[in-house]
């Protein structure tokens, strides 16, 4: 055996000895060209080894037939192992040249066109299935006809052979019908958007082809070396690979359906997160911003009015008192309301930022990354988590916002007269910050300061004096602040409680879907 292997090595390396120039005597060339040259040289050596192994396997098999049963069995096993090794090498070369045809000529890896690659594989599979069906039928007919010319034992063996070949032809026909009659109609009926995955579709396709290729090589190597552990690994990885395929179709289909369902609430938005963002910005954040501007405007006006003071008589003999003695209460109320409305606005801004991140990352990064990691044994659980995370924040989380909107607006559909969103208290703002209190208008309309009011009939000046004096301002009721307080109370439900509930629902969904994906029967 050692002598045979040594002879095989010498025969295979003979082309190297006859080469005109060795690798180390060549002039300097570009790295890509040198890599291509070395790869071509290596492929030539591998092809020479394959041819030598085929010839040697045939010679050993034929020579073994001239000896006893034990020698024939050993020769047969040895020849089969040699041919299996040749098959492994042939598969490796075929796959490399099929996927990277330009690497050995230009030294550059071409861009893989997934659609074209699938079309080529489909055509190759169709041709192979038709060829297998024809070969199986011809061999079955030939084996059955030849077996009838010999004894009963030979006829029985021929019948078994013919039955097995016919079964193989039937299986090939069923696979052909599934691939080219049933599956295309289902794909046409249930179409999934190619936007899912984006540029990662090429990477996912390459990962699938690579894992399938590794499993195939493992299977062939297990048959050559008779390693039980490798065969067990093949069975486990084959089931995992099929599960990963099913998960891909399930994920893409469910993602497409989930997007359609979520967008029914979105009023024409492109994605569910964008629908939720539009709702938060136009309704919650906009109302909170208007309320915050009004409250801080009232706070500024009341703070200024609280500084006004008056005295009667000489400075040293009388006390100073405030013109608006109850205005300090308004100052404190507006300060508290301002902080509350600012909190609501900041909360809405944080939620919008989170939804922007979800819209930018979940569909284009986390989902493809999860699909890729799902194929590798050490990272399957991580891939399942990323897939569930993408589902949760791309579909479930923004959809709960739209549901919250419908629930919130349904509360105000009765006859209570309340408005679901903010409306400015015009009377309150004009009473505290209107033109009668400051500036030229306040001076011109004051009968005590403007002598023109003496020309008016009796009583008119007194009426205008009361209109622009502090008496009217002191008559402003605390009830004017109730609509603002009611708005803050209702918006707190939408801006604080419901987002927390949405996050809890999303996290629960992510945990449940992760367990569902990694569940093993």
Listed by start position, the domains of the chain span: 1-107, 272-416+426-518
Question: Which of 369-373, 397-401, 466-470 has the largest mean confidence?
Answer: 397-401
Residues 208 and 397: their CA atoms lie apart, in Å, by 30
pLDDT at 5 over 60: no
Count Cβ atoms below 10 Å from residue 431 Cβ, excluding itself: 19
**Which comes out higher in pLDDT, residue 193 or 56?**
56
Return the CA Rg of the chain.
Answer: 42
pLDDT at residue 496, rounded to an integer: 78
In this predicted model, what pLDDT tens digit does every residue of 33-43 receive, in sequence order? 666 666 666 66
pLDDT at 440 over 70: no
Lowest mean pLDDT among 9-13, 99-103, 229-233, 501-505: 9-13
Lowest mean pLDDT among 75-84, 277-286, 390-399: 75-84
Question: Which of 238-252, 405-419, 429-443, 468-482 has the largest mean confidence?
Answer: 238-252
Residues 269 and 272: their CA atoms lie apart, in Å, by 7
pLDDT at residue 205, rounded to an integer: 65
3-state secondary structure of 309: strand
pLDDT at residue 192, rounded to an integer: 43
**Which comes out higher in pLDDT, residue 446 or 406?**
406
pLDDT at 23 over 70: no
CA–chain centroid gap for 54, Å, is: 49
Question: Mean pLDDT throughout 58-62?
Answer: 71
3-state secondary structure of 321: strand
pLDDT at residue 39, rounded to an integer: 65
Question: Mean pLDDT throughout 430-457?
Answer: 54
Question: Mean pLDDT throughout 360-371?
Answer: 84
Residues 259 and 266: their CA atoms lie apart, in Å, by 10
Question: Mean pLDDT throughout 55-79?
Answer: 74
Question: Mean pLDDT throughout 126-144?
Answer: 76
CA dihedral 446, 451, 453, 454 (to 10 degrees): 140
pLDDT at residue 391, rounded to an integer: 87
Question: Average pLDDT, whole number, for the chain?
Answer: 70
Residues 158 and 198: their CA atoms lie apart, in Å, by 54
Q: Are 398 and 520 in contact (CB under 8 A)?
A: no
Residues 42 and 30: their CA atoms lie apart, in Å, by 18
Please, which pLDDT band fits residue 222 given cuts at 50, 70 and 90? low
Please, which pLDDT band fits residue 507 given cuts at 50, 70 and 90? very high
pLDDT at residue 460, rounded to an integer: 55
Dihedral sign computed on CA atoms, order 229, 231, 236, 238? positive
In this predicted model, what pLDDT tens digit does every residue of 487-501 receive, in sequence order? 777 777 777 788 888
Q: Percentage of the chain with pLDDT > 70?
A: 57
Residues 483 and 486: their CA atoms lie apart, in Å, by 5
pLDDT at 417 over 60: no
In this predicted model, what pLDDT tens digit does every residue of 149-168 receive, in sequence order? 777 777 787 787 778 777 77
pLDDT at 334 over 70: yes
Question: Mean pLDDT throughout 388-394?
Answer: 89
pLDDT at residue 316, rounded to an integer: 66
Residues 6+ apart with CB under 8 A from 214: 237
pLDDT at 30 over 60: no
pLDDT at residue 360, rounded to an integer: 87
Question: Mean pLDDT throughout 389-403?
Answer: 88
In this predicted model, what pLDDT tens digit does every residue of 107-128 receive, in sequence order? 454 555 655 666 666 676 677 6
**Nearest-5° Cα angle at 274, 271 to 277:** 155
pTM over 0.95: no
pLDDT at residue 368, rounded to an integer: 81
pLDDT at residue 444, rounded to an integer: 45
Query: 269: alpha, beta or left, given left = phi > 0 and alpha = psi -120 to 50?
Result: beta
**Which comes out higher in pLDDT, residue 402 or 488?**
402
pLDDT at 509 over 60: yes
φ and ψ at residue 318, rounded to 5 degrees:
-125, 165
The residue length of the chain stands at 521
Residues 6+ apart with CB under 8 A from 110: 100, 101, 102, 103
Structure tokens at 189: 């009926």
Give me the long-range contacts of 169-172 (CB less than 8 A, separation at least 24). 169/132, 169/133, 169/136, 169/137, 169/140, 172/129, 172/132, 172/133, 172/136
């Amino acid at each position: 055996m050692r002598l045979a292997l040594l002879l095989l090595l010498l025969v295979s390396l003979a082309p190297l000895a006859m080469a005109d120039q060795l690798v180390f005597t060549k002039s300097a060339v570009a790295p890509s060209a040198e890599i291509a040259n070395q790869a071509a040289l290596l492929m030539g050596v591998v092809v020479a080894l394959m041819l030598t192994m085929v010839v040697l396997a045939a010679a050993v098999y034929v020579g073994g037939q001239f000896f006893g049963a034990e020698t024939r069995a050993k020769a047969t096993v040895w020849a089969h192992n040699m041919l299996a090794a040749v098959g492994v090498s042939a598969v490796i070369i075929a796959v490399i040249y099929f996927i990277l045809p330009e690497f050995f000529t230009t030294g550059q890896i071409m861009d893989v066109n997934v659609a074209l690659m699938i079309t080529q594989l489909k055509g190759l599979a169709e041709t192979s299935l038709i060829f297998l069906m024809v070969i199986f039928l011809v061999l079955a007919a030939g084996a059955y006809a030849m077996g009838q010319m010999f004894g009963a034992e030979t006829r029985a063996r021929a019948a078994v052979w013919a039955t097995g070949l016919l079964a193989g032809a039937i299986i090939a026909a069923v696979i052909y019908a599934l691939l080219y009659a049933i599956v295309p109609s289902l794909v046409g009926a249930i179409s999934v958007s190619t936007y899912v995955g984006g540029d990662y579709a090429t990477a996912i396709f390459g990962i699938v082809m690579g894992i399938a290729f590794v499993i195939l090589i493992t299977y062939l190597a297990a048959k050559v070396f008779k390693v039980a552990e490798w065969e067990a690994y093949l069975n486990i990885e084959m089931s995992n690979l099929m599960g990963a395929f099913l998960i891909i179709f399930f994920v893409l289909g469910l993602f497409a359906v989930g997007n359609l369902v979520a967008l029914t609430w979105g009023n024409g938005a492109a994605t569910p997160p964008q629908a939720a963002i539009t709702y938060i910005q136009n309704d919650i954040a906009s109302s909170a911003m208007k309320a915050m501007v009004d409250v801080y405007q009232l706070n500024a006006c009341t703070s200024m009015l609280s500084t006004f003071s008056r005295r009667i008589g000489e400075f040293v003999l009388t006390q100073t008192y405030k013109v608006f003695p109850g205005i300090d209460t308004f100052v404190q109320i507006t300060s508290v309301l301002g902080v509350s409305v600012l909190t609501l606005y900041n909360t809405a801004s944080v939620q919008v930022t989170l939804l922007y991140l979800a819209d930018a990352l979940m569909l284009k990064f986390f989902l493809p990354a999860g699909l890729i990691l799902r194929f590798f044994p050490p990272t399957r659980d991580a891939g399942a988590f990323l897939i569930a995370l993408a589902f949760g924040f791309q579909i479930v989380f923004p959809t709960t916002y739209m549901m919250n909107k419908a629930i919130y607006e349904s509360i105000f559909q009765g006859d209570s007269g309340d408005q679901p969103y903010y409306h400015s208290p015009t009377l309150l703002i004009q009473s505290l910050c209107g033109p009668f209190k400051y500036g030229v208008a306040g001076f011109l309309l004051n009968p005590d300061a403007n002598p023109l009011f003496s020309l008016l009939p009796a009583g008119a000046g007194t009426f205008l004096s009361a209109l622009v004096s502090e008496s009217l301002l002191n008559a402003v009721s605390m009830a004017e602040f109730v609509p603002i307080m009611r708005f803050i109370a209702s918006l707190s439900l939408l801006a604080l409680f419901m987002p927390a509930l949405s996050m809890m629902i999303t996290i629960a969904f992510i945990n449940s879907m992760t367990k569902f994906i990694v569940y093993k029967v």
